[in-house]
Amino acid sequence: MALKIYISGEYFDKEDAKISVYDHGLLYGDGVFEGMRSYAGKVFRIKEHLVRLWESAHAICLQIPMTPDEVAKAIQQTLELNGIKDGYIRLVVTRGAGTLGLDPNLTSNPRVIIITDRITLYPKEFYDNGLEIVTASTIRNHPQALSGRIKSLNYLNNILAKLEGLKAGCVEALMLNHKGDVAECTADNIFLVKNEAVLTPPIDAGILAGITRAAVIDLAKASGRHVREMTLSRHDVYTADECFLTGSAAEIVPVVKVDNRQIGTGKPGPVTKDLLARFRRETGA
């Protein structure tokens, strides 16, 4: 059965799901999105995802033509229509069709798109053995140019860093901010473990306020561990006892080597393993 894609109140087969070539989402990356996971038919932290989506839209003066409750209902219906219980949801809101000029006031009918599918971002061996990443020369967008808290459709900054990682034989790459401090990876937030404490860059480092990041912070605190959101350097990464990444698609994946430097023992550490186990218990994954 062909997957059904939701576009502004209608369902289309995957092959027939189309929007206008004049949509500013296509022409200029003018729009916002969220990536979510469903476990046993329930969307993980959907309220937090929708709050972030509405904040991103508000920040770029984009009016979403639905209420959060209507979007949540449409997501659930799309999952059920496609028979997906454990899967990935991509929720997209574009500016709508307009002209070839930048003026967003000349656009109309913002499009709400819901794609539900099954996804495995990383192979099981990465969760078992850890992955290797490199630091990209491409930095995160300057926050006075584009806030990292806006999850916009323009991901070229991240793609350029991703290309650097791939050319180095790595599936992820670490990005620094304009100050040279650790920010995040191309699609994931980053955490370190040092002397049992769990460390991660603060929001003002120019990072996306990850939903899974917040869940892991909650789990770490609930486990009695000390959690610090603090400025981190590459030195902190290199000398950490453990390192792991978080994201809706990735969940929690350990990192055992950065810039060809071994992290800790070179194997997924006990804190990472414990937090991953706690996360899977919470989600039922």
Alpha helices in 9-155 (DSSP H): 24-28, 46-59, 68-81, 124-129
| pLDDT at residue 88, as a whole number | 96
* 110, two tokens: 């913002």
pLDDT higher than 80, residue 44:
yes
Cα Dmax for the chain: 57
Could you give the residue range(s) of every CATH 3.30.470.10 domain in the chain? 4-117
Domain spanning 4-117 has what CATH number? 3.30.470.10
The fraction of the chain above a pLDDT of 90, given in percent, is 96
The fraction of the chain above a pLDDT of 70, given in percent, is 100
Q: How much is the mean pLDDT over the chain?
A: 96
The three-state (H, E, C) secondary structure of 233-273, written as one string: CHHHHHCCCEEEEEECCCEEEEEEEECCEECCCCCCCHHHH
Q: Report the catalytic residues.
A: 151
Cα distance between residue 84 and residue 76, in whole Å? 10
pLDDT higher than 90, residue 1:
no
In words, the CATH class of domain 124-283 is: alpha beta
Mean pLDDT of 103-128: 93
Name the pTM for this structure: 0.95
> Confidence band (pLDDT; 50, 70, 90) for 240?
very high
Q: Number of helices (H) and strands (E) in the chain: give both, helices first.
A: 8, 15
pLDDT higher than 90, residue 266:
yes
Could you give the residue range(s) of every CATH 3.20.10.10 domain in the chain? 124-283
Cα distance between residue 70 and residue 75, in whole Å? 9
